[in-house]
Amino acid sequence: MLIAGNWKMNGTPDSMEEFGRMIARAPEATARGIDLLVCPPAVLISKFADRATVSKIAIGGQDCHPKEKGAHTGDISAEMLAACGASAVIVGHSERRADHGETNQLVAEKAAAAQRAGLTAIVCVGETEAERDAGQTESVVAAQVDASAPPSLDAAKLVIAYEPVWAIGTGRTPSVEDVAAVHALIRAKLEERFDVPVRILYGGSVKPSNAAELLAVENVDGALVGGASLKADDFLGIAIAAPKKG
Q: Give dist(CA 204, CA 43) in Å, integer.
A: 25
Q: Which of 61, 164, 203, 237 binds ligand PEP (CB under 6 A)?
A: 203
Quick check: 206 binds ligand PEP (CB under 6 A)?
yes
CB of 205 to ligand PEP, least distance (A): 4
Contact 120, 157 (CB under 8 A): yes
Q: Which of 57, 224, 232, 238 binds ligand PEP (CB under 6 A)?
A: 224
Evaluated on CA atoms 217, 18, 227, 92, the torsion sign reads: negative
Contact 104, 143 (CB under 8 A): yes
What is the rounded (10 degree) CA torsion for 75, 8, 83, 66?
A: -40
Quick check: 158 binds ligand PEP (CB under 6 A)?
no
Q: Which of 132, 205, 214, 217 binds ligand PEP (CB under 6 A)?
A: 205
Site for ligand PEP in 165-184 (CB under 6 A): 168-169
Of 65, 93, 95, 102, which one is the catalytic site residue? 93
Tell me which stretch binds ligand PEP (CB under 6 A): 18-26, 64-72, 184-192, 200-208.
Answer: 200-208
Which segments within the chain are labelled E, that is strand?
Answer: 2-6, 35-39, 57-61, 88-91, 120-125, 158-162, 199-203, 222-225
- Does 93 qualify as catalytic in the annotation? yes
- Does 65 qualify as catalytic in the annotation? no
Helices (H) and strands (E) in the chain, counts: 10, 8
Nearer to ligand PEP, 10 or 87 (CB): 10
Would you please indicate which residues are annotated as catalytic (active-site) residues? 93, 163
| Residues binding ligand PEP (CB under 6 A) | 6, 163, 168-169, 203-206, 224-228
